[in-house]
Structure 1
Amino acid sequence: MKRLLLIVAIFCIVIPTSVDAQRKKSRKNKKAKKEVQVPKPKPKKKTPKYSDFVNKSTKTDEGLFDVHETKGKFYYEVPNDLLGKEMLLVTRLKDIPSGLGGGYVNAGSKVNTQVIVWERFKKKLLLKVRSFSAVAEDSLPIYKSVKANNLEPIIYAFDIKTTNPDSTATLVDVTKFFASDVKAISGLPARFRRTYRVRRLDPSRSFINAIRSYPKNIEVIQDFTFDADNPPSNQTTNTITIRVNQSMIMLPEKPMMPRIFDKRVGYFTVRNVDYSSEALKADAKQYIRRWRLEPKDPAAYARGELVEPVKPIVYYLDPATPKKLRKYIKQGVDDWQKVFETAGFKNAIMAKMPPTKEEDPEFSMEDIRYSSIRYVASTTRNAVGPSVSDPRSGEIIESDIIWYHNHLRSYRNRYLLETGAANPSARTLDTPAEEIGEMMRMVIAHEIGHALGLPHNMAASYAYPVDSLRSGPFTQKNGIAATIMDYARYNYVAQPGDKDIRFIRQLGPYDHYSINWGYRVIPTAKTPEAEVKTLDKWIEAKGNDPVYKFGIQRGGSGAFDPESQTEGIGNDQVKASTYGVKNLKIVAKNLQSWTSDQTNNYEDLAELYGELLSVYSRYSGHVTGVVGGVAEYNKKPSQSGNVYVTVPKARQKEAVNWLLNNVFATQQWLLSKDILENINPTGYTERMLGIQNRQLYSLLNTSRLQRMANAEVTQKSFYSPTEMIRDLRRGVFSEANAQKNVDVFRRNLQKSFVERMRTLMNTNNAQNSDLFSIIRGELTTLRSQLRTASNRAVNRITKYHYRDCISRINTILDPKK
């Protein structure tokens, strides 16, 4: 038993010790293992190789940048030697939904133009927008300040994937950039987003259509689909899909030598502020926009010989253009060849049909290397001539003339209305094809003028005496205005019986003059400043001839020069409009026989009657422009005469009298029962009041009245606001002194006169000027006159009308009662 107990005791002592020893040994082994265990190395990050992106499955298009497409992703291979180089990025709409922009936006419309540069920053490639609004010579200290205060925005930062095998170019993935809604290159401007209540771009329905690279440019076509609550068409889809074309073109390494703008000759311009100037302020510079025309043979050109340019201006016709119209469009371009000969260049501009697929499989109308004339399937009645230019020099790079399909209908209608009285071939809805073609030719010539850098010149139609427009020999030689760039479309002055009249506009002497001034190379001048002396001489040689006057287009209250009015012809607005209205009266009498009697429906009659009222209103507006008019003659101090010349008092009074007789008096010739009762059930009085109010409000406009008041400072004899408003009040309320009934048209006009006076009294400009006093005085006189007239009014409605006018005047003069 003792032995057994001893064994158990020994076992109890030995076993724990052994177990503990085993545990210690185990911990020791584990510790040892832990100490000797070497951590597994992390896998090295694989350095991307060029072959990971560009390999056998890649489609490569070589050009300005090599463009690679691999597994649905697009990569730009950007050469290092092009980093920092200036390029032009042009965003256009290639295809659009119906109704986008209210009909005045079309396939081919330019949305944005910006100068960009590619720059490397660490592991990124940055796309920046460069501005030329502020510049300085980079060798001057102030250049640093210009850069610091004009930090260039970054459109996008691309991760650098790798370099090409010889490390001469950087590879970036551009897929996300072109497939996302990047606002800087979006085809949907902010105003469209607001109008159509655009919520977002749907990436599942948006993608890159194609990217093509050419030697000097890259063209990207994107398809974008937006969710929109108020799309312009197909509204049940809540969707807008547009196709956008991005053109990136290399700008010339050496910019064209610019030509300094002179406001005496009309040109579109580019502007910048030059801080390199030695003057006491930054020098605002303005250069004209023009194509780079350089003579192939400079020596022959310097001798005065006609020389072809190194690179002519070529326009390609849209293949969608109807065949019967192509020759007229081509003529509209080619007509400028003679004009460029005045500047010393032959074959300087031409129109061609685009090459076939066989001739050039890569030709595209969206390729910015090519200028085009697009034929747009749209109900809009318009044509435009936009262009793209280098902001550094004004060099025009490319342009696209846009012709809307329905535009010829406007020309047919106006041809009938404005020339039908004196022109038998215009008295039809089926205008002869050759005459329609001639109209189209001149519209294209006008738009080409814009694309050459020429803005509207509204003074050119004032250059010719009114009666010369009734002369066959004169109009056949000189047309109806001194330039195609005026809005003088038709000869509405010529009267029945005048012989051999040209009724359609054409290019004129000012076109030759302005192209010579803008495009003739001056071989002896090596800087823009060195050209100025010669350019001045050319202007001053023509300085006193109205044929060579440039008049800027102004609209609304900003218009003050009666010699630069849109749509007018002749140097006497009252005389020209008298002829025009006389012709319209003949047209109005025959409108039914020329339209509804021929078609057996009233649609054309309704359309043309509405346009007849617009033509009549336009003629009236030309006369209104004389009142308070100030002619502008841009001059330098070396030229004689003043820049601003007030229209003589007698002419202004003549204009007011014309308006009283031809606008504010009821025009019964416009109120044919046979027309009105066949086109509208009602609205006759409202329509006529609208025409009258247009001229009434224009006359009683604060800007016009202030010009008339300011004439007191410089003129011995002037037509004052007091006298004009008195003449107007007497004429508009002439029945009050004659015991005559007032017809419904005149009652409406008289109420409108009183209400317009109320508006003028409440304007801030009137409160502290004579205008407040004049209006109060004229309304007081009118109230007294109407009190007497209301007591002897012939019929009841006239009596009620006068009492109503008196009540309105009381409220104006004493609003507290």
Structure 2
Amino acid sequence: MPKFYHAVSLALLVALTQTSCSTTKAAEQQTDTSAKAESSERAKPASRSGLKSYSEVITKDAISDEGVFTIHKVGDKYYYEIPDSLLQRDFLWISRFANLPSGLGGGYINAGSAVNEQMVEWQKFADKIVLKTKSYNAYAADSLPISLSVKANNYQPTLYAFDIVALTPNSPGYVIDVTKFFLSDVKAFSGLDADMRKEYKVSKLDDNRSFIQSAKSFPLNIEVKQDFTYDATEPPSNSATGSISIMMNQSMVLLPKVPMQPRINDYRVGYFNINQYDYGSEALKADEKSYIRRWKLVPKDIEAYKRGELVEPVNPIVYYLDPATPQKLRPYIKAGVEQWQEAFETAGFKNAIIAKDPPSPQEDPDFSPEDVRYSVIRYVASTTRNAMGPSVSDPRSGEIIESDIIWYHNHLRSYRNRYLLETGAANPSARTLDTPMEDLGEMMKEVITHEVGHALGLPHNMKASSAYPVDSLRSGAFTQKYGIAPTIMDYARYNYVAQPGDKNIRFVRQLGPYDHYVINWGYRYLPEAKTAEQEVPTLAKWIEEKANDPMYRFGSGSGGFDPESQTEGIGADVVKASTYGLKNLKQVAPKLYDWTAAQTNDYDDLQELYGELLGVWSRYIGHVVTNVGGVREERLKPNQEGYIYNPVSAKEQAASLDWLLKNAFSSPEWLNQAKISRNIHHANYVESIRNLQARHLNNLLSPDRMARLMENEVNKVNYNALDMVRQLQRGIWSEVYSGATIDIYRRNLQKAYLDRMDYLLNEKPGKSSRYGTPVDISQSDIRSIARGELVQLQRQLKSARTRHANDLTRYHIDDAIVRIDNILNPQNS
């Protein structure tokens, strides 16, 4: 029965036999000439000393499998037959888990997870064949003299050396024994990294319990499965055995001779990328080049494509469902994959991405989810609540050649819980543990679409969710058309802004305008551009045409300083959005018992959801914290007007801190639902609130935030670090000024404040660079401010202590006075 080949294989096979459209005849002739010379040099026969005849090694009992290399199994030995023509060719080697024990790596590693990805080449040296790593991080064209220095100063490791045991009879080539190699614990291909070996106390690979499971050769790849058992005194599971057994899948893929024409990355648009240093550049340095990671899509009919017609690609992107996927979920997973067809149509392609059921053994006896020829939606039996969308790409060009989407079995529970908590006030469908399958299916579809987006080359775009006016998210017409954010690649999962009574609201995220824009930017075929550089003017023009429309902005969310680029946020005004969110949460909290324990006669779900409710409350608070000392980032090039970094206005920062004092640092009595707290824990509620409030307080008083506030002085923003600390201190200690009794929540919070001031004043001098905002605490205004404000606070406390009749309040004030003495004079404490 013929083997079933994936579209990726066909794409690579075509690439192997064709030259790039940008290759000139002269370049082709030069390549052919040098290739012939190289082949002639490699074809010189090796010394026959110690070599056996081919028939002595590959006997009549050999089981042979022809492919990129022919594999022979003779008894318990495995041999590779390597054609001379494939020496010094680029291969991509991917090491994956095929099977693994429960709990390995903390639950975020699963069958199908890649543990290493590296480019290799096979070379002949004397009477040996050596396997070496190869890198394109540093390069220069072979025609340039500097290429000699690049090679000399970037010498790559030898992974293994094989004796040549025989020569091939009918064409130049070499036979090597790979048995020992695949039965050895070679670190570059192992599933157990150094941290795992240390954590599980791995001593050695047990040779007696390790073997080669299978080795198969295909036209462009080889797949080998190894069954390894290690001696380990503290394994992640089955501790009585004192061992860890894993099955590894080693994929070796032949890359095209001519790489795909890359597309130059532009940081104003979101794509994962590969970076290279070009030492042949005319710049006065090694020129760093960045190319986006994307699949190779070429129209079948280029002329029709030029006319603006939708055209199918020569090789579409194909995803197969894992055979382990439950039948009832398959339609939603397929819909999640194929939802991207809409965006690819914007780029001129139809049927560019397709989801298929796994082939039956009759259709393809060689199908394996670990096989790099197949991109698979892996369904993982794990309690982990997550999903991922990794991919494998050609390090020379950024061409994605395979990806596996990972879906963990328990992930829908997380979405069920968030759906109930964040939308339950306005969405009757969410007020149950038995969420309708239609709603769950919609959530799953959108998660799959998000993860496939990663596999298409798209990173998170956390900036996008700040594009829409907050009140537009309460409009049915708006949300049904535009969703709750312009992209599926943001962490804008649910519409927590919509209020009870709002009609026809879209509550779940969906594909948006940015997704169409970014796929067109990265995937539209530009037939007139013969080099990556020739594409740049067109690509830049597309970006600048959308520059003033917030729906097409990109921001990674890294750095933690931009309030418009945050995880889980929605809407252009974080204060307003969080106000709506808290208003909804205050309606959900009293109903939580009725929606859970009252229905199930069990407290487990109630306990789980209440813990997550506290997390949702904390998340809304955190969004507003980022406004204080916040800096909005606009990704611009010098030919565009404006500044990249723009501090949040003084008015917004002061108003945000005032909001925090009222909503984050006041006593949250509404969270103390007796039916909940007194049924799920004997004593934990007060400590949970203290922990969350202290976390946000410490975040406000972090050195990196204070560094940005100090910069406001030179940026002419009339709100600096002293203004913030003074406003915060007066709010945290408001009872000292008013004479009110200080309750338990506030006493805890005030002690947390003193601990943080102690940290700022007495931490060992050094540079704090959290979130990339470096500051030397000991040589900045931070300690001056902390000392000055603590002196003021101590004076107020001494004056106020006699005004408080409540013993516990007075004892707390006395304790605070002593604590401040110890902070200001640590040598006396």
Instruction: Give the secondary-structure state (helix, strand or coil) at the position aligned to 2:664.
Output: helix
Distance of 2:267 and 2:804 partners within structure 1: 57
Name the Cα RMSD after superposition. 1.0
Q: Which residue number in structure 1 is paired with residue 605 of structure 2?
A: 604
Shift of 1:718: 2.4
Residues 182-201 of structure 1 aligned to structure 2 (within 5 Å):
182-201=186-205
Partner of 1:746: 746
**Structure 2 SS opposite 1:714:** coil
- The equivalent of 2:439 in structure 1 is 435
Match of 1:239 in 2: 243
- Checking the alignment, whether the CA contact within 8 Å between 1:739 and 1:794 is kept in structure 2 is no
Q: How does 1:566-585 map to 2 (within 5 A)?
A: 566-585=567-586
Aligned to 1:40: none
Q: Corresponding residue for 2:147?
A: 143
The answer (yes or no) to whether the contact 1:464–1:571 under 8 Å persists in 2 is yes
Larger RCO, structure (CA 8 Å, separation 6 or more): 2
Task: Work out the CA distance in 2 between the residues paired with 1:298 and 1:762.
Answer: 68
Conserved in 2, the CA contact under 8 Å of 1:290 and 1:452? yes
How many Å separate the matches in 1 of 2:169 and 2:336? 52
Corresponding residue SS for 2:567: coil
Give the structure 2 partner of residue 770 of structure 1. Answer: 781
Whether contact under 8 Å (1:318, 1:375) holds in the other structure is yes
Distance 1:420 1:571 in 2: 23
Alignment partner for residue 92 of structure 2, among 66, 88, 91? 88
What is aligned with 2:3?
A: none
Q: Output the CA distance in 2 between the equivalents of 1:344 and 1:419.
A: 37
Is the Cα–Cα contact under 8 Å of residues 69 and 81 in structure 2 kept in the other structure? Answer: yes
Give the alignment of 1:677-692 within 5 angstroms. 677-692=678-693
User: Cα offset for 1:95?
Assistant: 0.4
* Structure 1 residue 768, shift from structure 2 partner: 1.2
Corresponding letter in the other structure for 1:685: V
Corresponding letter in the other structure for 2:672: L
Q: Indicate whether 1:544 and 2:545 are aligned.
A: no
What are the equivalent positions in structure 2 for 1:479-494 lying under 5 Å apart? Answer: 479-494=483-498
- Other-structure match for 1:73: 77
Question: Quick one: distance in 2 between partners of 1:88 and 1:109?
Answer: 16
Give the C-alpha shift of residue 794 in structure 1.
Answer: 2.2
Question: Matched residues in 2 for 1:142 and 1:767: separation?
Answer: 47
User: How do residues 587-626 of structure 1 correspond to structure 2 at under 5 angstroms?
Assistant: 587-626=588-627
Q: Could you report, residue by residue, the CA deviation over 1:501-524 in whole angstroms, capped at 9, with x for unpaired residues?
A: 000000000000000000111122
2:169 is equivalent to residue 161 of structure 1 = no
Q: Give the equivalent residue in structure 2 for 1:673.
A: 674
Q: Deviations over 1:633-675 (max 9, x none)?
A: 0101111111111101111111101110111001100011221
Q: Which residue of 1 aligns with 2:810?
A: 799
Give the distance between the partners of 1:791 and 1:261, measured in 2 at CA: 66
Residues 434 and 163 of structure 1: CA distance in aligned 2, closer, same or farther (over 3 Å)? same
C-alpha distance in structure 2 between counterparts of 1:586 and 1:279, whole Å? 61
One-letter code of the match for 1:363? F
Q: Distance in 1 between matches of 2:721 and 2:680?
A: 41
Equivalent of residue 399 in structure 2, options 384, 392, 395: 395
- For residues 777 and 101 of structure 2, what CA distance do their matches in structure 1 show? 48
Tell me the distance in 2 between the aligned counterparts of 1:552 and 1:171: 49
The one-letter code matched in structure 2 to 1:783 is: Q
Aligned residue pairs: how many?
770
User: How far off is 1:213 after superposition?
Assistant: 0.3
CA distance in 1, matches of 2:530, 2:683: 69
Query: Contact between 1:466 and 1:570, CA under 8 Å: does it hold in 2?
Result: yes
Kept after mapping to 1: 8 A contact 2:473/2:479: yes
Cα deviation code 1:158-195 (max 9, x no counterpart):
00001111252100000000011011111111111111
Deviations 1:547-586 (A, max 9, x none): 00001121xxx31111100000000000000000000011
Quick check: 1:781 aligned with 2:792? yes
3-state DSSP of counterpart to 2:530: coil
Check whether the contact 1:98–1:233 (CA below 8 A) recurs between aligned residues.
yes
Which amino acid in 1 is paired with 2:727?
A: D
Uncovered stretches (5+) of structure 1, i.e. residues with no partner = 1-43
Aligned to 1:31: none
- Superposed, which structure 2 residues align to 1:554-569 within 5 Å? 554=558, 558-569=559-570
Other-structure match for 2:264: 260
User: Counterpart of 2:522 in 1: which secondary structure?
Assistant: helix
* Structure 1: distance between partners of 2:800 and 2:321: 68
Q: State the shift of 1:367 in Å.
A: 1.1
1:420-452 alpha-carbon deviations (Å, 9 max, x no partner): 000001000000000000000000000000000
- Counterpart-to-counterpart distance in 2, 1:358 and 1:552: 45
Name the CA distance, whole Å, in 1 between partners of 2:293 and 2:270.
10
SS at match of 2:421: helix
SS at match of 1:816: helix
The residue aligned with 1:725 is 725
Matched residue SS, 2:683: coil
Structure ID, larger Rg: 1
> Are the structure 2 counterparts of residues 597 and 46 from structure 1 closer, same or farther at C-alpha, using a change threshold of 3 Å?
closer
Does the CA contact (< 8 Å) of 2:51 and 2:165 recur in 1?
A: no
1:714 matched to 2:715? The reply is yes
Q: Given that residues 688 and 745 in structure 1 are in contact (C-alpha distance below 8 angstroms), is that contact kept between their aligned partners in structure 2?
A: yes
Partner residue of 2:628? 627
* Residues 295, 399 of structure 2: 8 Å contact kept: yes
Partner of 1:498: 502
Q: Which residue of 2 aligns with 1:697?
A: 698
Residue matched to 1:17: none
Partner of 1:474: 478
**Partners of 1:536 and 1:167 in 2: CA distance:** 50
Question: Partner amino acid for 1:338?
Answer: E
Using the TM superposition, name which of 398-407 and 524-533 deviates more: 524-533
2:74 & 2:410 partners in 1: Cα distance?
45
Instruction: Give the TM-score, by structure 1 length.
Output: 0.93
Give the corresponding residue for 2:13. none
Q: Deviation digits for residues 607-649 of structure 1, max 9, x if unmatched?
A: 0000000000000000001100000001011111111111011
**Is the contact between residue 710 and residue 721 of structure 2 (CA under 8 Å) also seen in structure 1?**
yes
> Is 1:740–1:794's contact at 8 Å kept on the other side of the alignment?
no
Partner residue, 2:20: none
Deviation at 1:766, TM superposition (A): 2.1
Q: In the TM superposition, what is the alpha-carbon distance from 1:51 to its structure 2 partner?
A: 1.1
Matched-pair identity in %: 61
1:233-273 per-residue CA deviation (whole Å, 9 max, x = no partner) reads: 01111110000000000001110000010000000000110
1:736 equivalenced with 2:740 (yes/no): no
Unaligned runs of 5+ in 2: 1-47, 766-775
AA aligned to 1:669 is W
Find 2:109's aligned residue among 100, 105, 110. 105
Please report how far the alpha carbon of residue 45 of structure 1 lies from its aligned counterpart in structure 2 after TM superposition. 8.6
> Secondary structure of the residue that 1:571 maps to in structure 2?
coil
